[in-house]
Structures are given as C-alpha cells and as structure tokens.
Structure 1
Amino acid sequence: MFRRLTDLQSRITFAAALVFALAFSVPAMAAAPPYAELLMDPATGAVLVAENPDRETQPASLTKMMTLFLAFDALDKSELTLDQFIPVSRRAQNMAPSKLGLIAGTSIKVEDAILGLVTRSANDAAVVLAEAIGGTEEGFAEMMTTKARILGMRNTTFVNASGLPNSRQKTTARDIAALSQALIKTHTRHFPYFSRASFSYNGAVVQSHNRLMSRYDGMDGIKTGFVNASGFNLAATAMRDGRRLIAVVLGGRSARDRDNRVAALLDHGFGVAPLKRPVATVEVAAVVPAVRAALKADAVDRTEKAARDKTKVAVPPKAGTLKANAVKAVGKVKPAAKGESWSIQIGSYKSQKAGQVGLGVASKAIAVQVKGADTTVIKNRSGMFQARFTGMTKAAAEQACSRLEAKGQDCLVLAPR
C-alpha cells in the first residue's frame, strides 16, 4: 500500500511539473522577443555575420531612424530649415515617454527636435517632425514605408513615427542595416547628429540613451530602442583605421547584453576578437507538442493505474494556481490605492537581488516621485527580473521616468491593467 501511494505521489508531482512547464516555460519562450543580429560592411554591402537576419520583429525606437531620414530629406530639399520653428500639437504633447515634455500650442526648432530624437528618443518630437513633414502622423507613416521600399527594406512596415508598440509595425535586422547604410551614404552631411552624446534644451542637459558610444572606441551612432515585444534593440556603426562597420542586434535580453553583443560583433569585424555564437533560443514549435504529448501520456497512464488500483487519482493544481504561487515567490505587487495604479519599470536584471539593488539606486534619484510607492521585482516569462515602482499616479510615473532618462537610465511607464 505504501509503495502504491509513493508511486501515486510521484506521478502527481510529475504531472504538476509538466503543467508548470506548460504554464511557464512554453509561454516564456513564446513571449520572448525574436532575436536577430547582422554585421555589415557598408562600403560594399557585404554581410559579414548574420543570425536570423530576416526574422520580423518590432523596431521600437529604431523607427526614429526613418523619421530622421525623412527629416534630412526635407532639409536637403529646403522644405525645412534647422532654425525653423514647427508647432507642437495636442497629439504630440500627449505622447508617452520618452519625451522632451513639449506643450501643445508652443513650437520647437527643427534642429532641437532632431536632437531630441537622437539623444532622448523623444516621442513627442517625433510626432512634431512627422506632422510638419507629412501633415499627419498617419500620412507620414505611409511616407516612411514608401521610403523603406525605395531603400530595399522589403520586410518593413511603419505605422507611426516614434516606434511605440504596434503589432503592425515590423522590421528585420537586414532592413535596419540597409537603413543604417542609407543614412551614412545619403545623408553624410547630417549623419554627425547621431554622434551627439547630449544637447541643451530649455536649460536642461539631455543625455544620449546610447551608452555604448561612450565606451566603444570609434563608435559614432546610431540608435537604441526598446519595447516589450521587441526586447532591447541597437543599430550601431563604428570606424577604425578608415574602415566603417554596421552592427545590428534586435531582441537583446537587457541593455547590457545588447550592448555587449554589438561590441562583440564590431570587435569581430575589426579583427580584435573571434566571435562566439549568440545564446541559442529554443523554438516553441518543437517544445509544445512534446509537453502536450507527455501530459497526455501521463494522464492515460494515471487513468490505467487508477483503474488497476481502484484508487482515485488526485488532480494536480491548475496552471493558474501554480502561476500565482510562482509570482508570489519572486515578488508580490501590493494593492495600489484607488486612482494610484500606475507603475514604472526601471530595468530587467539577471537576478532578483540585482533588481532590488537597481531599485535602491533609482529611488535616490527620484525620491520625490516614488514617495509612498511600493517596489517589486517580478520574474518575467523570459527569465529576467523586472524591477518596478508601483502604486503611482500617472504624473508621478511620467516625471520619474523623465528624470531617470535625463540621467541616462532606461525607464518604462506602465499604465494600469
């Protein structure tokens, strides 16, 4: 009897583990951003390294590379001038961070809008430029896609000028490399804007989001990007001994991992160090059938066992229960007060402890904005630990992110769900 119970407990444990795998591991892989990378010699167009170069993903703020391309086109055609003031619309004012904090009814110089995109990755400045050139952001997005086709970007579609999340906005590493190459060749006169580490606006110094540029010898651009669906993106270019290279990484697991991989690609291209393959990702299609088959086989086996032993088999906990317990083990979000349910995410870390340290450091910089807020570190589906301040007002969340971004730290405002 004892042996039968032990065997039964083992099977229940096994089934529960499989349910856990189905509830967590499989969705984690399904939700993980697509990874791609490419190293190109822009002088010849030769692709030196490529991993999933045509895999589609969202470009995030790499979108602004095309916004700037069309702005440079307009400057070359004298449709805009650098010292021209262009109006700020209500739509631009209401854009989510990152932004310069533009106010509807005012105006901004074209050059300041360009620098706002290059450094702060300002979404409000992107809309201002889009409306000045295309009339509406929607009309400008059509111009962006048309230009993409002209440049040979076959798998890219734009629906906004900022790169804020939209499932219809797609690109590939190959297309982003082509856009980078076109910016270098077509807009040589304007390309130095991408090397600006900072600029002054309304009495404040706005710092660049591209922190790799300050530590990689010879790097002079181009653009960073991040949304949850894309992961951490970077298109970068560097020149050494008269030779220029372009490196593109899409779907990095963290800003640091992305930056390190871009540096490794460039080092390889410049002959500094051999290149290791990127961390392999497991395809969901290969895993889901195996897990489902194992669950089915275990269910059949348990049924037969129950019939033989005339013992009722306990049903393992539901996936939802397991998921709730797992999240609780990592970090539970405390209930927010009514009307105070906004959050900010200050980064994704490899460990819970690192996330807690990150929250501690950030809290000193935004003490006023996070006063009374809760902190939490939650393990996401891709295995990273997201550090967040929760229970904030919308205004406090946006102010906190703006303050952190001004100091060169990534920050994401999260609306109530």
Structure 2
Amino acid sequence: MAAPYAAMVIDARSGEVIHSRNADTQLHPASLTKMMTLYIVFEAVKNGEIDLDSLVTISRKAASEPPSKIGFREGSQVRLRYLIRAAAVKSANDAATALGEAISGSEAAFARRMNRTAKALGMSRTHFKNMHGLTEAGHMSTARDMTTLGRHLFFDHPEYYNLFSRQSTEVGGKTVPNTNRRFLASYQGADGIKTGYTRAAGFNLVASAHRGNKRIITTVFGGQSTAARNAKVAELMNMGFKSVPERVAVRRPTPPPYLGNSGIGAGAPALVANGPDVLDEGGVGKTIRIVVAPTKSIHPKPRPKPEPILTAQMAAEVDEAVDAVLAEVAEAAAAETETETASTETTNEPAVVAEGSADPSAEVETIQVAEAGELPAPEPPAASAQSEQASVESGNAQVIAASMAAPKAAPPPPERPDGVILASVERAPEPAAGEPQVVTRMSTSGGRHWGINVGTYGSHYEAHRVLLKTALAELSTLGEALRKVSKSRQGFNANFVGMTKEGAELACRRLSARSSSCAVIEAGQG
C-alpha cells in the first residue's frame, strides 16, 4: 500500500501558503527528522555548547544503526563537522545518533530537546522519539510542520545552509553523494533541503529553490518513488513560482529562545531533585520548579531611528540659498544669450576654446561645456563681452582672452542663527589683466573619473536645483564634486562628476539611506 500523500507549498520570503493538501495530517517523517537534529546542533555550536572541531566518540548504539550509514566503528573518534556533513548530505543514521549523543548524552534526552524546540518553532503536531527518523511508534510529523522547520533552517542558520546543496561531501577520507542529488541537478534554482524514505513513510522531500528574488519551499509526503516524488515537487514548485510576485517584503520567522539541554533557559534558577533530565518531558522523579520573570528580553532591541539630516528650519534656509543661487544662474544665462546673439550677428567665424592648463595642479573653477541649452554659464562682466567682441573682429580665433575688471565680491554663504555655515565655495584667484583665461576640463588622473546620478528631470532648472540641494545636504562627500546637467532623450540628467569610485559609492550609500535616488556612473555615462 502506498503511504498517505500530503503536500505544502509556501513563499519562503513571507511564509504565505500557496498550496496545501493533508498538510496537518500526522505521518511518518522518515529522515526529514534529521532537519531537526541538525537545527539543534547548529544552535548548540552557535551558543558554545560544542565546537565544530570537537572529537565525538562513536558509541555502540550509533555504530549499530541500520543504513543509510557511513559505517563508523564503535570507539572511533570523529570531528563534529564531519558528522554534520554525513547527516545533512548522506542522511547517515549512525552520524545522526552520534550527534544527538554528543549534544545531550543520550537518545532519550536529545529527543526531549527536539520536542521542546519543535514546540518553540510552532510545530504543534510533531513528536520525535529519535534523532534519525527510523519508524517508531509515536514518531510523527506533518507537511506543514516540516515546511516550517525548513524555513527556519534557511533563515536561522544561513551559514550552514550551503550543506544541503552539495552534490557530494568528504567524510572520513571518502566521498559520499547527496541523497537529493537528482532533484538538485534537474530543477533550476534548487538548493536543498532534505529527503526521507521508509516503507511506512514513502518517499518524502522538503525542497527549496530560488529564481531571481523568489524563493519557494515545497514539502511532499508519501511519494511512490524517487522519480515520482521529484516530479510532483517540481510541479508544485512551478506553480509556486508562477503564483508569487517578483518582490515581496521579507518577514523573517522569529528564532526560538535558546534553552539548551535543561529546557529552562540560561540563568533561570531551578531546584532539581534528580538531575537536569527530569525537567524534560517524560522524565521521572520529583521536580521542584521556581517560576520567575525573565531578567531581560530574548528579543533584540529595535534599531534606533536615524536622526534627520536637516531640520525643518535648516531645510527652509537651504531652499532660500538655492533660490538665490538659481536666480543668479538664470540672470547669467540671459546675459550669455544676449552676448552670443551679438557675436553671431557680427561674424560667422567659430571661436576656439583652448583646453588644458599651464599649471595642472592649480585648483580652478571649472566651467562645464555641454550642448546648447544644457548648463548656463556664470554671468560675465561687461568688459569681458567687449573683449570677446574685439577678439573676434581682429580674427584671433585661437584663444578667447578676457580682460577681467575687478571681480564682483561673491555674496557670503547662507548662515544659520547659531553661526553654522551651510555651504562654502572657494574660488581660485582671478587671472591678471591681459592674461588669457583658459577653460579647462576636470582631470581624470588619480581615478577621479567617476560620478553619481541623482535623477532625470523635465527641465535644466529643476535638475540644477536638485544638484544644489543635494550638494548642500551632503557636503561631506559631495563638497569637491562637480555639478553637471546633461541632456538626453529622457530629459536633463543631474550628475555629480570628478569623483573617485570609492567616493561615489560612499555618497550613493549615504543618499540611498535617506531615500534619495542615486546611481554610480563612470566618465562618459549619463
């Protein structure tokens, strides 16, 4: 007779049930039991009960377990890490028994710890009698409970989860294959978790697979063969991947409290007449328990909310400063348009802008040269326009010389009432009278050919405004970056350029933490 059939399919990210059939029917779990054995071993290692390199002596009981097994000899010593591999990959019964005895001292004590852990995980219809899953009266579980256990294995002990996806592993100097290797090899994205088989249980499997942002966990009890079981799991997996959306908020399951072998938690007082085992289910002897309130919460403290970078008053002051700068930019753009119109009417000869600087190490105020209508230039003094006109009329089309008058004093940066300057821009010394003014490009030496994009906008003005506000709010990383607005088919790209790759990535992380749009770009992009 075929074993009873049961199935469960969930979205591992949220725990949402996609499909279930006989999911709460108590059935024989077979070697799916080893998932709980391994979960407790991982918990014990994490809490310092035992070390991965601890030597475990193989007992007579462990050595005499029936197959599947590695064949450890009684009295031999094996490191804990190899016993874990044997139980997870080979599903070895002798390794599972040795693990339980190493943690709790006996099969009975370890089974009681398994039941306490199952209850803490919410596996309400599961009861364990041994650590390997061989058929025993009262040793029962359900498809729902085993699916819950599989999800906890993935989220609670991710550092060990890779064990379940290995096609084979090394144990005791020899290579052993994974009992789940056929499904791992045939189903795209499969990476676990555990198979199980006995005559009473049929062919069982708890499987996990991921594709893109999706992860599905599927459990099947009572398969009639390995091939039939794998085909049914693949069918349910496909249904799951088609049903769930690409992006879902991840709701991690809450790990159970660590109770150890005593079952009362670390530091909790108890008076025990006949040793620690009598506190557990099924113990004998008189037990006196003292119930006290916990001294501290078992749950982690919530992460503190980040303080706002700008207060409301500071934000208003930043807006005023940005508006003032943008007004100057708009006036400069209008003046430049008038100058260009006058120059065009006078002559059709093109003007040549020289690149490069006599002193590459000198810090100069860089003017971004882009397509028409991209980036308005600063307002030129009246004398500059006349000088440019004269230069063109004389036929000198090689260098645009600017006979600069006394520079206009820049307005002081906006200041808060407490005296903190919101932004400060240092300008290089103006060239002497009669000395040509050279328009340079930012040097890309030293790896400063990276930048960030903070969005694409419908107008040049809006993009420039966003750049100014972003620079004022993030002076620590963007204080030395250049602001550049470039036009594309999508609109006006607001970029900061002239940065190192590390500086661009740091700025992006800080802006993303404040929910600001940001993407790292390399020279020539965007």
Superposition TM-score, scaled by structure 2 size: 0.45
- Judge conservation of contact 1:118–1:196 (CA < 8 Å) in 2: no
Q: Which amino acid aligns with 1:94?
A: S
Among candidates 157, 181, 185, match of residue 214 of structure 1: 185
Distance 2:171 2:23 in 1: 37
Which digits, 9 at most, give the CA deviation of each residue in 1:116-160, with x for residues without a partner? 011111000001000010110111011001100000000000000
Q: Secondary structure at the match of 2:175?
A: strand
Per the TM alignment, residue 195 of structure 1 is displaced from its structure 2 partner at its CA by: 1.2
Distance 1:208 1:193 in 2: 10
1:113-128 paired onto structure 2 within 5 Å: 113-128=83-98
- Judge conservation of contact 2:18–2:243 (CA < 8 Å) in 1: no
Among candidates 74, 77, 81, match of residue 44 of structure 2: 74
Among candidates 150, 160, 169, match of residue 190 of structure 1: 160
1:261 equivalenced with 2:232 (yes/no): yes
1:156-171 paired onto structure 2 within 5 Å: 156-171=126-141
Moved over 4 A (4+): none
Q: Secondary structure at the match of 1:270?
A: helix
Match of 2:56 in 1: 86
Match of 2:453 in 1: none
Counting aligned pairs with the same residue, the percent is: 41
Which digits, 9 at most, give the CA deviation of each residue in 1:104-125, with x for residues without a partner? 1111111110110111110000
Q: Which amino acid aligns with 1:170?
A: M
1:16-415 paired onto structure 2 within 5 Å: 28=1, 32-210=2-180, 211-271=182-242
Per the TM alignment, residue 227 of structure 1 is displaced from its structure 2 partner at its CA by: 0.6
Distance 1:128 1:155 in 2: 26
Q: Which amino acid aligns with 1:242?
A: N
Which structure shows the higher helix fraction?
Answer: 1
- Judge conservation of contact 2:82–2:172 (CA < 8 Å) in 1: no
Higher relative contact order (CA 8 A, sep 6+): 1
Per the TM alignment, residue 202 of structure 1 is displaced from its structure 2 partner at its CA by: 3.0
- Judge conservation of contact 2:89–2:163 (CA < 8 Å) in 1: no
Distance 1:50 1:203 in 2: 42
- Judge conservation of contact 1:34–1:56 (CA < 8 Å) in 2: no
Distance 1:144 1:203 in 2: 30
Distance 2:171 2:147 in 1: 30
Q: Which amino acid aligns with 2:58?
A: V
- Judge conservation of contact 1:121–1:209 (CA < 8 Å) in 2: yes
Q: Secondary structure at the match of 1:236?
A: strand
Q: Which amino acid aligns with 1:167?
A: A
Per the TM alignment, residue 201 of structure 1 is displaced from its structure 2 partner at its CA by: 2.3
Pairs aligned (count): 243
- Judge conservation of contact 2:69–2:92 (CA < 8 Å) in 1: yes
- Judge conservation of contact 1:34–1:55 (CA < 8 Å) in 2: no
Q: Which amino acid aligns with 2:108?
A: E
Match of 2:388 in 1: none
- Judge conservation of contact 1:200–1:206 (CA < 8 Å) in 2: yes
Distance 1:177 1:270 in 2: 16
Q: Secondary structure at the match of 1:271?
A: helix
Which digits, 9 at most, give the CA deviation of each residue in 1:149-184, with x for residues without a partner? 000000000000000111210000000000011111
Q: Secondary structure at the match of 2:207?
A: strand
Per the TM alignment, residue 272 of structure 1 is displaced from its structure 2 partner at its CA by: 9.1
Distance 1:202 1:136 in 2: 23
Which digits, 9 at most, give the CA deviation of each residue in 1:251-303, with x for residues without a partner? 01111111111111111111299xxxxxxxxxxxxxxxxxxxxxxxxxxxxxx
Per the TM alignment, residue 207 of structure 1 is displaced from its structure 2 partner at its CA by: 0.2
Q: Secondary structure at the match of 2:70?
A: coil
Distance 2:201 2:241 in 1: 28
Distance 1:167 1:33 in 2: 16
Q: Which amino acid aligns with 1:138?
A: A
Distance 2:81 2:18 in 1: 35
Distance 1:36 1:182 in 2: 20
Q: Which amino acid aligns with 1:268?
A: M
Structure 2, gaps ≥5 residues long: 245-526
- Judge conservation of contact 1:144–1:158 (CA < 8 Å) in 2: yes
Distance 1:182 1:81 in 2: 22
Distance 1:205 1:132 in 2: 24
Distance 1:190 1:120 in 2: 15
- Judge conservation of contact 1:56–1:155 (CA < 8 Å) in 2: yes
Per the TM alignment, residue 237 of structure 1 is displaced from its structure 2 partner at its CA by: 0.3
Structure 1, gaps ≥5 residues long: 1-27, 274-417
Distance 1:148 1:174 in 2: 12
Per the TM alignment, residue 88 of structure 1 is displaced from its structure 2 partner at its CA by: 0.4
Q: Which amino acid aligns with 1:237?
A: S
Which digits, 9 at most, give the CA deviation of each residue in 1:67-96, with x for residues without a partner? 000000011012122222111000000000
Which digits, 9 at most, give the CA deviation of each residue in 1:41-92, with x for residues without a partner? 1221111011111111010000000000000001101212222211100000
Task: From the CA coordinates, give the structure whose radius of gyration is larger.
Answer: 2
